[in-house]
Amino acid sequence: MEKVFMIYLIGMSGSGKTTIANALQEKLESCGRERIQVIDGDIIRKQFGDIFGNTYEERMKCNRAVRVVVNYLIDNQISVILAQVAAYKEMRRLVREQFAECYIEVYVKCSLSECARRDVKGYYKKFYQGEISNLNGANDVYEVPEDYDILIDTEKETVEESVQKIVSYLEENGYVL
């Protein structure tokens, strides 16, 4: 049986998490690796009904709810690629602890200025126009990851290079046969 993984793609909004998550899933599926679920932190937040706010406590609650989903999937041998800002060290610690056996942390690094320039989801524009507050990395805290397993720099690497880094890690650690 294939070894299940839980890839946690973390980084600021606009860093490129979703792009990499989808490209990674496509790449793995093209290699015959099935049963992979991509979960986008913004999408699942909406699926939950936008009931979670943007304070530390609310984000931690939201993260806990997301972990419930991930846990049921992992329990059923579905690998997960979770793309989430994950601004807090404690949040990452809890995810790592819960999925210790299959946890792979990928820090998707990108400067604030470049994230704001890309502004894929329009959050930075809304933030600078005062329509949203508490944007991690801008006015709100983003505790820079230190314990990641893989570092991706989307200002220096192509998507293909980043995806290949993760695939190589999976191969080296027995996740892809």
Give contact residues for a second copy (rule: CB under 8 A).
35, 37, 39, 44, 47-49, 51, 61, 64-65, 68-69, 71-73, 75-76, 78
Please identify, using beta-carbon distances, which residue of 98 and 164 lies nearer to a second copy. 98
Please identify, using beta-carbon distances, which residue of 35 and 89 lies nearer to a second copy. 35
Residue 47: CB minimum distance to a second copy, A: 5
Residue 95: CB minimum distance to a second copy, A: 14
* Token duo for residue 81: 């690629």
CA 83-47-59 angle, to 5 degrees, is 60
Please identify, using beta-carbon distances, which residue of 20 and 73 lies nearer to a second copy. 73
Residue 143: CB minimum distance to a second copy, A: 22
19 to each of 42, 129, 154, how far by Cα in Å? 13, 26, 10
Query: Residue 135, exposed/middle/buried by CB under 10 A (0-12, 13-18, 19+)?
Result: buried
Count CA atoms closer than 13 A to 143's CA, side-chain side.
Answer: 12
d(Cα 25, Cα 17) in Å, to the nearest integer? 12
Residue 84: CB minimum distance to a second copy, A: 15
Strand 6-10 and strand 150-153: pairing?
A: unpaired
Residue 68: CB minimum distance to a second copy, A: 5
Contact call for residues 16 and 108 (beta carbons, < 8 A): yes
Please identify, using beta-carbon distances, which residue of 61 and 118 lies nearer to a second copy. 61
Please identify, using beta-carbon distances, which residue of 21 and 110 lies nearer to a second copy. 21
| Residue 84: its H or E element | strand 79-84
